Amino acid sequence: MHVLDRKLLRDLRRMWAQVLAIALVLACGVMILVLAIGVQRSLEDTLEAYYERNRFAEVFSGAKRAPDMLLSEIRALPGVRVAETRIVGQVVLDLPGLEEPAAGRVVSLPDVDVPALNLPLVLTGRPPAPDAVDEVMVTRAFAEANGFVPGDRFSANLNGRKRTLTITGTALSPEYIYVLGPGAMLPDNRRFGILWMPRRALAAAFDLQGAFNDVSLALTRDGRAEEVIPALDQLLAPYGGAGAYGRAEQASHVFIEGELTQLRALARILPPIFFLISAFLVNMVLARIVTLERGVIGLMKALGYSDAAVAGHFLKLATLVSLIGIAIGWSVGSWLAQGMAKLYTEFFEFPYLVFQPRAGSYAISAAAGVATAGLGAIQGVMRAVRMPPAVAMVPPAPPSFKRGAVDRMATWARFSQPSMMVLRGIGRWPGRAAFSILAIAASVAILMSASFFPDSLDEIIDTSFFRQNRQDAMLILTGDRADSVVEDARHLPGVLAAEPMQYLPAVLRHGHLSRRIAVEARDPDATLSRVTDAAGRPVTPAGDGIVLSDRLAERLDVVPGDRIEMQLLTGRRETLTLPVSATATVYFGLGAYMDRAAMARLLRQPPQASVVNVAMDRDKARALYAAAKDTPGLAGTVLLFQTRTAFSETIARNILNTTVVYIVIAVLITVGVTYNGARIQLSERARELASLRIIGFTRAEVSYILMGELMLLSFLAQPVGWAMGWAFAYAQVKSFSSDLYTLPFVMTSATYAKASLVVLAASAVAALIVRRRIDRLDLVAVMKTRE
């Protein structure tokens, strides 16, 4: 090893704390890149392979009852490569050990051969025999959540007929990677599952012999979903077509895409912040090292080392720091990526999702890390290179301080000399002070963008569950029923109140903008389920008007008073033009709301209900559950009080994880900036401080000078951090917002305060660690050494 390299290693060992502080900040950037890019690519590759191998369809549509012979016409549509029909239905399940009714989505398997599209991946057991009437294959998650193995039985209410079904196997499907039951907000594998049954049995159960109610298509290489969808809609229209849609609107796919979008955003937004801060830290520390090593630099030049050798020496130092950061970032990133992949398998049903180390993500993050250090080093390196050899041999001139406006103010305010030293220190290196403020502010911002989540979610829970969806349960009917069903529901045991609601699948249009959506029609006096505006006041549609959620209004570019077109996808498939009477604040889905009576009038039919919302006496829940399991015409129940708990629990757990990660990151940045700042100050001011001690200043007074500047900068960073945090959080809300859900932007004073407290505490601790060195200051030695 070269002598200079040996020096380098010893220098690094001596400055280990500073090196580590920088490396950790850099490691955060590297870690997030490895994590986000690695998981994103793993997810994308898994998805692509899974979709390909199990023939995930590209266009989907439901229908009421379409004859089998329509299939040949569908197949003949231009752009269609494969078309397959199925029977799909909702069933209520009575599971052993579960009091409340569970729900299932039953999907037919072809009589002969395996499905041409959406091929289930059989994991255990076998698919049901084609001629069996009581055999069923279920999703793995459903089986695991209920402790089922092949051979186990449970009973199901299939279109009003109660049957005992035997599980023959478990499977996964590319169609149901993310599984949400009707009305559910989070996956609940205990109470909802996908069931595969032979087509013959389902056709009999649902009275669909010679017919189908679901079709999936795969397209040719040049087939375009946008062209196939209207053609398919046209073919299915006479048979109650529910509106075709592509993968972009397929529920499971949309959720995964949402996750991928967030990972991509994560990889884009956060790492640059860390890299920038690391570059600043490298810059600050290297500038100091170059100043301290003037003698060595001069010596190297005097000895005949070339400029390149001098530059190389300091670049190596920066590179080594970055390599340490990269190593830490790689290992933590890989570890977190595995954890994240595991977390995904909790929400997403993949046959495999192992986080495979991606050479690409490691290479990109390493390149970014080394480039960061190089960028940070460049200024110091250039200064070392430009230092004329003779000048490098004499001590540097004292930095030139000037009297400025701040100074005059401080003099006028009669600040003490130590305070003047603090202020002049900031004034002397304004760039360094400004960047320190920015970096500390970034920590505040990162903390704020993590801690605003709980408030935001509280607001969601408050609005969604306590102002809007206040019902204890939703009874989902197998189809639209006459209002007498509400009366029936009132007579179920334990039901205290019942209110009807109708779902009407429709396409809403305004100009060239359109959205496929289920319009909810309610009675104006409904209190169990309603929508509210931003201020929490109930909003009811006026007359024939329609109320849109804020986001839907935004997507369709309408404001109250505008008129939109509503094309219904059921019944006579009428197209109506309606005024938008108001907008509502809704966090889940893109909602549209109408008066049920007005809807009935427009459709020239008596009012109908597809869901009955009930308030229940929980003490009589058991009787209600038993009745629900045996009520014909019931497709499922959603127990909202359980949804509330599950939602809060899942969210609370994830928030805790996220918050811990964000706090660690923010503390690392703050400590990295303050600790290095303090060390550099100590190094720059050692002689001054020692002189002050000699002339009789106390340790506390001397410490004040050292810590004063850093704490002042930390305080100045707070308002900047608040502004940045506000902007971060706002950007996050925007990036989270999708057609599926949105977050309210809630910023409480507690969020500001918490972030500031954590950051100020971290910087105080970092400064105090350095302060201990003042106690150990060897006054005589300091005075003897030449700068």
Which residues contribute to the site for another protein (CB under 8 A)? Answer: 2-4, 6-7, 10-11, 14, 295-296, 298-307, 309, 388-390, 393, 786
Nearer to another protein, 15 or 665 (CB): 15
Question: In the complex, what is the shortest distance from the CB of residue 784 to another protein, in angstroms, rounded to a whole number?
Answer: 10
Q: Are 205 and 159 in contact (CB under 8 A)?
A: yes
Tokens of 453: 């989540």
- Rounded-to-10 torsion of CA 80, 81, 86, 88: -60
Q: How far is it, in rounded angstroms, from Cα 492 to Cα 490?
A: 6
Question: In the complex, what is the shortest distance from the CB of residue 398 to another protein, in angstroms, rounded to a whole number?
Answer: 13
- Rounded-to-10 torsion of CA 127, 130, 131, 135: 20
Nearer to another protein, 17 or 309 (CB): 309
Dihedral sign for Cα atoms in the order 680, 684, 687, 688: negative
Nearer to another protein, 392 or 729 (CB): 392
Nearer to another protein, 9 or 237 (CB): 9
Nearer to another protein, 3 or 535 (CB): 3
Nearer to another protein, 295 or 418 (CB): 295
DSSP secondary structure code for residue 312 in this structure: H
Closest C-alpha among 650, 704, 667, 687 to residue 778:
687
> How far apart, in Å, are the Cα atoms of 441 and each of 272, 301, 643?
15, 41, 38
Question: In the complex, what is the shortest distance from the CB of residue 28 to another protein, in angstroms, rounded to a whole number?
Answer: 30
Nearer to another protein, 301 or 516 (CB): 301
Nearer to another protein, 400 or 749 (CB): 400
Nearer to another protein, 316 or 620 (CB): 316
Nearer to another protein, 29 or 298 (CB): 298
Q: Are 330 and 365 in contact (CB under 8 A)?
A: yes
Backbone angles phi and psi of 546, in degrees to 5: -125, 140
- Helices 430-461 & 417-428 angle (0-180, nearest 10): 90
Question: In the complex, what is the shortest distance from the CB of residue 306 to another protein, in angstroms, rounded to a whole number?
Answer: 5
- Helices 699-736 & 251-292 angle (0-180, nearest 10): 150
- DSSP letter string, 81-138: EEEEEE-EEEEEEE-TT-SS-EEEEEEEE-SSS--SSS--EEEEE-PPPTT-SSEEEE
Question: In the complex, what is the shortest distance from the CB of residue 401 to another protein, in angstroms, rounded to a whole number?
Answer: 16
Question: In the complex, what is the shortest distance from the CB of residue 288 to another protein, in angstroms, rounded to a whole number?
Answer: 16
Residue type, 261: T
Burial class, 618, CB count within 10 angstroms (exposed 0-12 / middle 13-18 / buried 19+): exposed
Nearer to another protein, 2 or 414 (CB): 2
- DSSP letter string, 683-722: HHHHHHHHHHHHTT--HHHHHHHHHHHHHHHHHHHHHHHH
Question: In the complex, what is the shortest distance from the CB of residue 679 to another protein, in angstroms, rounded to a whole number?
Answer: 17
Question: In the complex, what is the shortest distance from the CB of residue 23 to another protein, in angstroms, rounded to a whole number?
Answer: 20
Q: How far is it, in rounded angstroms, from Cα 787 to Cα 783?
A: 9
Nearer to another protein, 399 or 479 (CB): 399
Per the document, the length of the chain is 787
Q: Are 472 and 618 in contact (CB under 8 A)?
A: yes
Question: In the complex, what is the shortest distance from the CB of residue 298 to another protein, in angstroms, rounded to a whole number?
Answer: 7
Question: In the complex, what is the shortest distance from the CB of residue 334 to another protein, in angstroms, rounded to a whole number?
Answer: 34
Q: For tokens 């529920």, what's the residue?
A: 251
Nearer to another protein, 11 or 488 (CB): 11
Q: How far is it, in rounded angstroms, from Cα 32 to Cα 267?
A: 7
Question: In the complex, what is the shortest distance from the CB of residue 3 to another protein, in angstroms, rounded to a whole number?
Answer: 4
Tokens of 173: 């499907």
Question: In the complex, what is the shortest distance from the CB of residue 17 to another protein, in angstroms, rounded to a whole number?
Answer: 16
Question: In the complex, what is the shortest distance from the CB of residue 458 to another protein, in angstroms, rounded to a whole number?
Answer: 56
Question: In the complex, what is the shortest distance from the CB of residue 13 to another protein, in angstroms, rounded to a whole number?
Answer: 9
- Rounded-to-10 torsion of CA 305, 306, 310, 311: -170
DSSP-assigned beta bridge partners for residue 83: 217
Nearer to another protein, 388 or 606 (CB): 388
Q: Are 231 and 154 in contact (CB under 8 A)?
A: no
Query: Helices (H), strands (E): how many in the chain?
Result: 22, 22
Question: In the complex, what is the shortest distance from the CB of residue 777 to another protein, in angstroms, rounded to a whole number?
Answer: 17
Q: How far is it, in rounded angstroms, from Cα 206 to Cα 214?
A: 13
Rg (CA), the chain: 33
DSSP-assigned beta bridge partners for residue 576: 566
The residues near 663 (Cβ < 8 Å, ≥ 6 apart) are 447, 450, 758
Nearer to another protein, 4 or 576 (CB): 4
DSSP secondary structure code for residue 42 in this structure: H
Q: How far is it, in rounded angstroms, from Cα 281 to Cα 301?
A: 27
Question: In the complex, what is the shortest distance from the CB of residue 712 to another protein, in angstroms, rounded to a whole number?
Answer: 32
Nearer to another protein, 209 or 306 (CB): 306
